[in-house]
Structures are given as C-alpha cells and as structure tokens.
Amino acid sequence: MALDQAFVGRTYPATDAYLVSAAKIREFADAIGDDNPAYRSVDAARALGHRDVVAPPTFVIVVTSRAASQVTSDPALGLDYSRVVHGEQSFTYERPIVAGDRLVAVATVEKIRSAAGNDLLTVSCAVSTADGEPVATARSVIVARGTAKD
C-alpha cells in the first residue's frame, strides 16, 4: 500500500541528547579505517581550530539514525522495514561535530512519492546542540521496494 501523504510535514519529537565522546569518534574513525589525527588527538584537532577531537563528516548519522528510526518504525506510517534500502544521503554542516557536544535531532517527513512501484520517503533531520545551536542537517531518501502498487 502506498504511504499516506498526510505524513508529509510531520515532525517527530527531538531525540534525547546524545553526548559525543572522543572514544566514539575514535571507534567510528577506526571503523572507516581513517587514521586522520584530528579524529584522535586533541592537540591535532586544536591545531586545526577545533575545541576537541573532531568527528568525520558522516558521523552525523550516529545521531540522526535515532531520529530517522522514529519515522521508519512508526506503525501508523506502516513502512515495511524488510523492504527498505537507503537511496540517498546528504549532509550540510553549520560546524563540525566535536567531542563533548550534546546533540539532539529532530526528524521531519519532507516528501513521499512513488516511482517505478517503489515508495520514496525523504526525511530531514535537524541536528543541534541541546542548547539550540544548529550543527548539521541530514537528509535521507529511504526507498521501500515494491510497496507503492500493492
């Protein structure tokens, strides 16, 4: 069944604050095999002008996936998660994430459309500090394969 257009514009509650740790940044950098010292050394990060170790650009997904899953697992929306693939991802940054940030994410359903029998769901997640400083925006296109014409 096609996804309900009434969900377009719906905003979900902000996630609980996520405290970014230096250890998590290092774990993420290790996982992508990136030995950039700015991900590991406070001195190296400060030499680049950052307050603390900086996170790789795609680290934002660690914070936004919690917000986006509110949408994809919303029983009222009825997305069949077993048919879901990641279609597109983009990030815009107000500033890089650094260790010590307390971040919240707010997910909004931006667009729902059907193409070639698939449902395409665009979700934007606004990431800010718990104090309200904007940090980044993540936009995801989630594709539910073969659901639009059922």
Partner 1 sequence: MTATVSFDSVQVGTELPAQSFSLQRVNLVMYAGASGDFNVIHWNERVARSVGLPNVIAHGMLTMAEAGRVLTDWVGDPGAVLEYGVRFTRVVAVPDDDAGALLEVTGTVTELLDGRRVRVELSAAAAGEKVLGQARAVVQLA
Answer whether 123's CB lies under 8 Å from 68's CB: yes
The DSSP letter of residue 107 is E
42 belongs to the binding site for partner 1 (CB under 8 A): no
Please, which residue, 68 or 109, has the CB nearer to partner 1?
A: 68
**Which of the residues 98 through 137 are near partner 1 (CB under 8 A)?**
none
Residue 23 backbone phi and psi in degrees, to 5: -65, -40
Considering only residues 16, 43, 88, 133, which one is a binding residue for partner 1 as defined by CB under 8 A?
88
Q: Which of 30, 43, 100, 149 is the binder for partner 1 (CB under 8 A)?
A: 30
Are 99 and 28 spatial neighbours (Cβ–Cβ below 8 Å)? no
| Positions 46 through 65 that interact with partner 1 (CB under 8 A) | 47-50, 54-58, 61-62, 65
Residue 139 Cα distances to 43, 61, 68, 108, 110, angstroms: 32, 10, 10, 10, 9
Q: Report the interface residues with partner 1, using CB under 8 A.
A: 24, 27-28, 30-34, 36, 38-39, 47-50, 54-58, 61-62, 65-66, 82, 85-93, 95-96, 139
